[in-house]
Structures are given as structure tokens and as C-alpha cells.
Structure 1
Amino acid sequence: MTDFRDISLLMFFTSLICCCGCEESLTSVIQRLNQFDRKLHDNKKEILGMEENVLNLIEVSKTEMRTALKENIQVHVREAMVQVLKGDALQDLVSSEVVSELRQLQKGYREMEIQSRNFSKLLKDLQDNMVILQQPKYADVWSGRDSCENERRRILVAPLWSYTNQQFRQLNIHTNSLSVYQHLTMKGVSSVVYIARTRKLLIGLDHPDKLVSSPLDASYTAVVREGIRTFGMAVDEERDIVFLTTEVPRHTISRMSTEGKDFTAITDLSGYGKWPVGITLDKKRKKIYACNGVKMFTVNYDGQGLATLARGSFMYAVIFAQTAGVLYYNNEKTLMKMTVSSNVSTEVTTLSAIPWSMRLYRGTIYYGGFSPVNVNSGSVGSVDVTFNTVPYILKSIHMAKIRGLHIQFIP
């Protein structure tokens, strides 16, 4: 990859010099590049100053909270001592007044932490947008993949195994606002994946078992394949491959093109345990990771090298952090992580629900909750795995008789 970027950079500067040879001197080109470099440096200093101001605000808020906590404790202790002199029990006063006040202050402090974390994410987005605005247009060509990632700030929320038609929802992870897709109303949804190249959704349905394709903003669907029941899909768009975990016609990991062509089972899992569910890809090493309820396992793109990596229960969700080389998966409500270089698992935290699907965005795990029985609501939760913060619910979503929620990032 380093050689490729160096060659691209050399070609760019070569073409720039050639073009400028007709109109401007080499000295003029160098001066413009120096001016651009100074502008980027000034913007970086400004962003660092903003970060310092935000950190100072957070520190001031923490200090004020601690001071308020100390003052409230002192006031209630004095009141308690007065009551003791009157014959009342100090322990009863502490239980009924001081402890209650402490809980309220702790709740407020946790809410402040959540708001600070959200503000930090907004600041990070502001930094990214400022850098993108300062970059020349050719940077979008060189770093198109990163630009695409920067746009993925919304979550498509689909009802899992609903027996009645339900509308898909859209959750903005920064504003925590929820909207409804007027054109996406379905039942029996078991899996969803977004294909960026065609800007369409692939949706797995059961009863009848089939795969359908649908745009985000239109009311029509097209059947891609029939007789397929899938619970998880992952896409490698550079290679034009969609990998699926299937229960029907049999337990497999299968593959096809992003348009549904050349469907084939690469690994038969009929004798491997329960039906496979969640799936994620290591696109660099061409490896697949999946869960089947009781195992988290891996297999190569060609179907070879099947191996069990971890065991547990209600293991449905798995996601791979490509840059860090780390797998995140669930064992019931426990979020686990495994470094693929060592295959050693460690516990991260306890989630609010069993996750059915997980997505990773800028160091934060987002997950759609699952229930073994039909319920009338589901939730989307998140946890910052960079700092192992406490998980919290982003949004509770009410739908009639669903088993949970399937989530998928969309631009």
C-alpha cells in the first residue's frame, strides 16, 4: 500500500508541474503548495485549541459536580446531627436523605459523562469535516474508502422476525433522533446488508424464504433469490462478494455476487451445531468469522480452514475491527474481544441486552437487542470500546410482536 500511495503522489506532482509549465513557473507552484501547507498547519492549531477548550470545560464541570457533592454531604450531615440531638436515628436519616441525594448526583454525573462523550464525537466530526474541506479534490479519489466511512452516521433499524408489517426506522447516532422509512414496510425480516455500489439493501425474509433487493427511498422490491433463509450477511465490495449464513436449504456459509449471481455454498455446517447467524469479514486476510449460537468460528474465503475460536451461549453477533485486528462478539449479554493474532478472549463489559447484530464506528460498538420471545419493543445500544465505558441505550423502539432489532450502517 505504501508503494501505491507514493506512486500516486509522484504522478500527481508530475502532472501538476507539467500543467503549470504552460502557465506558471515551478517557483509559483512551490509557493502555492507552501501556502496550502501553512493553511493546514493553522487549521490544525485551531482544532487543537478547540480540543483544549472542550477538555477544560469538562474538567470545570467535574470540579463543580465534586464541589456540589461535598456541600450537599456537609449540609445533610449537619442536619442529621441536629436530629440525633433530638433523638432521631442517624442511620435512618442517612438512608432516607443523604443516600438518596448521592444517587441523584451520581445519576446526574453519569448523564454529564454521556453528554460529554457525545460532544466529543461531534467535535471529532467537526475536525474531519474541516480537514475534508481543506483537502484538494483529488484527495477524495485517493482516500475514497475513508470518505465513505466518514459518511456512515446513520443506522438502519429493521424489525427482527415480525409477524406483522413493520416500518424500518433510521437512527441518527449523533442527534439520537429517530425517523421512519415510508417505503420500507416488511415482515419476517431476518437479515439486512447495504450495498454501497448499487445503493440498495439486500434483505433476507422467511415464510416464504427469499432474498429481496430494495432501494432506500423507493417502494418497490425485487426478488434476488428464492428458497434461501439467511440470518447474517457481510459484503466485500472490492471483490463483489456477499457472504451469507444460511439455515435453508441447509446450514452453510454461502457466497454470491452483490447482485445475487453465482450463488454457492462454500462450507457445509450441517454437522457443526446450530444454524449460523452473525458474520463478519477480515478482507485483508480473506477470512470469515461467524457465530452459530454456541460457537464463534472462522473459515477462509474458499471454505477451507474451519476452526472453532470460542464457545458459549446465545452467541449471535460478531464484528471485526480491521485496523486493530480485534474481534468483538457476545456470549449472552457479555461483550467479548479477541485479538486474532493470539486467539485469546477477554471480557469487555456487560450489555443491556443480548445482541443480534453489531456494528463498529469510530471506536464505538452499536448493537441491536434480541429477545428469545416475542416482545413489543427493542433497543439500540452502544459502548465505547476504546475506553471501555459503561454501555447505555441510545433508543428504545416500539414495534408489535418482534424478536429484536437488526441494525446496519447506511450513508
Structure 2
Amino acid sequence: MSDVTMGSLITCFVTAAMLTQSAGTLQESWEPAGYTTESMATDVRLSRIRIISAQYECYLKIISDPPYEKDGSYCNRTWDGWLCWDDAPTQSVAVQQCPDYYQEFDHSEKASKFCAENSLWFRHPESNRTWTNYTQCTAHTRDNQKVGCKVLHFIHLYLTGCNYFWMLCEGIYLHTLIIVAVFVEEQRLLWYYILGWGFPLVPAIIHAAARSNYFNDNCWMRIDTHLLYIVHGPICTALVVNLFFLLNIVRVLITKLRVTHQAQSEAYMKVVRATLILVPLLGIQFVLFPYKPDGRLTGEIYDHVMHIFMHFQGILVTTIFCFFNREVQSAFKRQWSQYKVQYSHQLTSTEGSHSNMTSLTEFTGYSLTQTINNNRTNGKDCAEILVLKEPGISM
């Protein structure tokens, strides 16, 4: 063994010996906590100390173990940074348990290291450095993460489909209400529930099955595949159908406004207002502006507007169709007036009850005073009468 190697070993011994005691102390006092910044830092520090301690023990083993005595060439015993590997014959694979330094590692799995024909440990072709196969140590963790990620992506695609198909349900309902008014009473909400909540499951399930079999990338996040049209195709169809409903509703509104013989400018303003109201309700903005502009500023404006229409659609529709509606405002005013009248009536009744109680108290006090006075008077009269009735006193 060369002087340089011996010097490196001595340096390693000194460093590891200084940290081994600290590792033992930390192992006794450290307990897993939540994934806070402090606990994660403690976990990393503990892992590093344990690795240095294992390195120290490995170099002791390398020095103390007897030399390789089998026939044939072999790869020298070594420390790869995580595990200690014994001498191994050429064209063989050394296998041992995965280290338990990290929570992400599965200690029940195996790590492997290949001894090449030239009596050197295998080098990775990309880095040209000695390489140990630890992929199985995290395979279970990665598989669980992939499954959970794909499930979340499936739910995301399903809810996205529900969003657009409920827009289609709104378009169908309004179109039926305005254009085919004779069938309004025959509309059943069950069919809208099936279309809005049930139908988006079909493309989402088909997409998941197709992705699993033909394009099973990490989390199904890549967009360079035509399989996305399984989900996007029905969504685009729903938007195009809603655009047809919008145009037909505007046509009917213009026809009815012309029949009423109103001023043309006022009629057009009503049509424009009705159209603008229906655009966020039916999702027509995605058809009118399907592509994002190339400019940075215009692109950001496009993103913000589209996100407002998409994520705050419920608030927009409620504000436009409910709070800005004159009938709804009148109903609110009526309800508020009734509430004020009821409150005033209750207040008046409370004051009247208080006045009656006061009068009753005064009356009771007055009666009690009169009774006491009468009793006093009667007592005096009785005394006088008794005196008059004494013997020897004439009446």
C-alpha cells in the first residue's frame, strides 16, 4: 500500500473517530419529527455522520481483512461513498442490502456493483466514474410517487372536463329555455347531472388507459402526444356547441327586439349586453381566443384574463345573473323591508309589554298602599269602638 493511500486512510481515521461519538449521541437523542426545516436539517446532518462512520469502519475492514486468495483476476475492495464492497471476481455482480442512511431508501432492497473483465469496477458511460446500481433502493418510493401523481393527474383531467361540460349544460338549458320554451317544464336535472358529472369520466378513463399502455411517462405530464386529444376533443366539441347556442340565442334576441319596434341603438345595446353576459357563462372566450399571443405583456394579460374567466366563473355568473338582476334586487329589497317591519313590530311589542308591566306595578303598589291605609283606619276605629263598649260608658 502506497504512502499516499496510507496518509488518506490515517486522515479518514482521525476525521471519522472525531465524528463517531457525535453520531452515537445524535442517534440516542434524535427522534423523527415532521418535515419541518429544522427536522430535515437534522436528518441530513445525521445521515452525513452515519456515512462518515460507515466509511471509517469500511477502511478498517479494508486494512484488517486478509488478501484475496481465490484464483483468477478480481476487483479490489473499495468504498463507493455509501457502501463497503469486498473483493469480487471479474465478470461477477456483487450484491448487498441497501443502506439505511435515508428515509427514501428501502433497506429490504438490494444494491449491486459489477466487476468488469478488466478487473475494474464498472464505470458509468456518461460520467466515466465508478458506478454502483442503487436504483432498486428507491424503486418502491418512486413507484408510489408515480402512482399518486398519476391519480392526481387523472382527477385534474376529470374535473377540467366537468368544468367545460357544465358550461355545456348551462348552454343547453338556456337554449331550451329561450328557443324551445314549450319543453321547459319537461327538462329534468338528472340528465344535466349525468352530462356534467358522469360523461367527463369516459374520456378521463380512456386517456388513463391509453397513457398506461402507449405513453406511460412520468406523471403523464408530457404534452407531446396525440393521446391528449382524448380529453381535449370532447372539451372543444362542447365549446363549439356552446358557440352555436350563443349565436342562435343572439339571433332570437335580435328578432324579438325588432318585433317590439324599439329604437335600433337601444336594441343593439341589449343584444351586446346579452352576448357579453353569456360569454363567460358558456366559455366562448376559449373559442374566440384559442391561442396565446407571443408578446410577453400580451401573453401575461391573456393568461390573467383566461384564468379569471376559468377559475372565477361561478363568481362572475352569480354576480351578473343574480346580484345585477333587477328582480333579484327587488326581492332583496322586499325581504329587507319585511325584516325591518318585523323588527320594528317586535321592538314595539317589547316596549308595550314593558309599559304594561310598569302600569301593573304602579297599580299593584297603589292598591297595596290603599289597603294598608284602610287597615290602619279600621284599626283605629275598632279601638275607639272597643273603648266605647267598656262597662260604665254609655253609648
| Higher relative contact order, chain-length normalized (CA < 8 Å, sep 6+) | 1
Q: TM-score, normalized by length of structure 2?
A: 0.22
Larger fraction in strand: 1
Structure number with higher helix proportion: 2
How does the TM-score come out when normalised to structure 1? 0.21
Considering only CA atoms, is the larger Rg found in Structure 1 or Structure 2? 2
